[in-house]
Structure formats: C-alpha cells, structure tokens
Amino acid sequence: MSWLKRAREVADRVHPAGLLYSTYEQRLLAELDRDRLPEHVAVLADGNRRWARLNAPGRPLEVGYRAGAEKLKQFVEWCDEVGIGIVTLWVLSTENLTRDAAAVGPLLGVIEELFTDLAVTGRWRIRLVGDASLLPESMQCALAAGEMAGAGSHGMTVNIAIAYGGRHELRDAVRKLLATEAEKGTSLAELADTLEIEDIAGHLYTAGQPDPDLIIRTSGEQRLSGFLMWQSAHSEFYFCEALWPDFRRVDFLRALRSYASRERRYGR
C-alpha cells in the first residue's frame, strides 16, 4: 500500500464524516442476516472512464481503470469478509475489444495486473470467464498462470469476466455441446429429441457453479448489457448511482441488506 493511500485512509477515519461512515458500516455489518446472504455475487463495475473524466480531466483514462481495479480488489475482500462463496467481476466485454487499440491496450494491461495480483495471494481460486482466444497471446499465458497459482486454494472462487459477452457465451456453449455430442456419435435428430436445459448449462463458462443470487451494477445504469444472460434468470438486481471507483463498503452492505429483505420466488 502506498504512503498516499495509507494517509488517505487514516484521514478518512479521523475526519468526522469518515468516523460517521465507519460507525454506519459497523452497524450495517452487525445487522446483516447471515442466513440470508447470497452465495454468489456478480458485479458490473461500470463508470471507470466517467470517473476519470470527472476526477482527472486531461489525464489518460488509464487513471480510471486503475482506480477501478483497486476498488475491485477491495470488493473481493469485502465479499470474503462476509462469507460470500463465489464472486464474478465483469471487467471487459467483447464489445469493449472493438474500441480503438490505443484505448484498449492500457485497459488490458490493468486487467492482467488485477488478475495476477488476486491470484498471487493464494487466498482464492481465480477463474477466467470469457473467450481467452480474443486476447493477446501473452495475456492468455499470464491469465493461465494466474489460474494455476490459485488452483489449490480452498477459499472463495473469484470469476473474472474478460472478453465476455452473454450472446458470445451462449454461442460457445452450443458449439461445445454439438462438438461433444458429435464425438459420441449422436445425430442432430437424436440431440433435438433429447436436449435438456441442463445440457446447455453444462457447457457455459460458469458450468458447475450456482447461478448468481445477486447482481450489482454501478454508475446509474439499469440494464444487464448481456451479462450472464442465462445465469441471471432468477437473480436479484441492485443498481447503485455511484461510479465504480466511488463504490463504498457502505454501498456493498446496503446491497446485501436489500437482498436479504427480498422474498425470492424463482419465477413461481
């Protein structure tokens, strides 16, 4: 932790507003119903570029990416602290990759550092969720190494959605399903007669994991933008006005409180 960051944290605690938030955080934490917490939390960490334009005008957008990455690290810590089992962080969509190379390059660098930093702690199982083939080869190697570094961890699972798109995922799932069945000698007619929902779910990027119970999106946007299209059928949603780098632990605890107060019907 840099001296500047440490100084800011101390100042926040000493400042009356910081003390107030700290007290409020502790109250929210104490009031959480631990039996009604989500098992899987997913987040659309939106608003990094807008944050950079507002807080660092004239400076590269990378400032916002790095601020967002630091907040993602904090978010993972917060989830671990309250006992969340699985966290999914969407950091790069397939659409993001169509931006100008000068804008995408720095973002890819920040994402690779984030993935590696979380993996080298050895505390969590870090998994890539997305189409790695769309990424530079050197980045693919770094992400694969990160996954291996945390493979033996018994801690929380952290999915990092990179080069992820909901329609892209469904296309890949169907392709994998068809290829698997073809290897077995199953004809298309036979597959059409026997195909079940679970067969498709078993080929998603998140296969084997429970669907997200709670999906959080920041920056005031109230849409999923294709995030976990299949998995979010019965998810609860929480939308927050804060730009992602400004998302606070208080906001996270409020999201958990909101989730715990809801009656989940699963479409029934």
**Active site members:** 46, 96
Question: Which H helix or E strand runs over 161?
Answer: strand 157-161
Q: Phi/psi at 217 (nearest 5 deg)?
A: -130, 135
- How far is it, in rounded angstroms, from Cα 44 to Cα 229? 13
Q: Are 75 and 117 in contact (CB under 8 A)?
A: no
Q: Is 231 exposed, middle or buried (0-12, 13-18, 19+ CB in 10 A)?
A: buried
> What sections of the chain are H helices per DSSP?
3-14, 16-31, 48-55, 62-82, 101-120, 137-149, 166-184, 188-194, 197-201, 249-260
Mark 39-74 as b/e (b = at least 16 C-beta within 10 Å).
ebbbbbbbbbbbbbeeeeeeeebbbbbbbbbebbee
Cα–Cα separations (whole angstroms), residue 21 to 128, 186, 248, 249, 255: 34, 60, 10, 9, 16
Chain centroid to Cα 24, Å, comes to 25
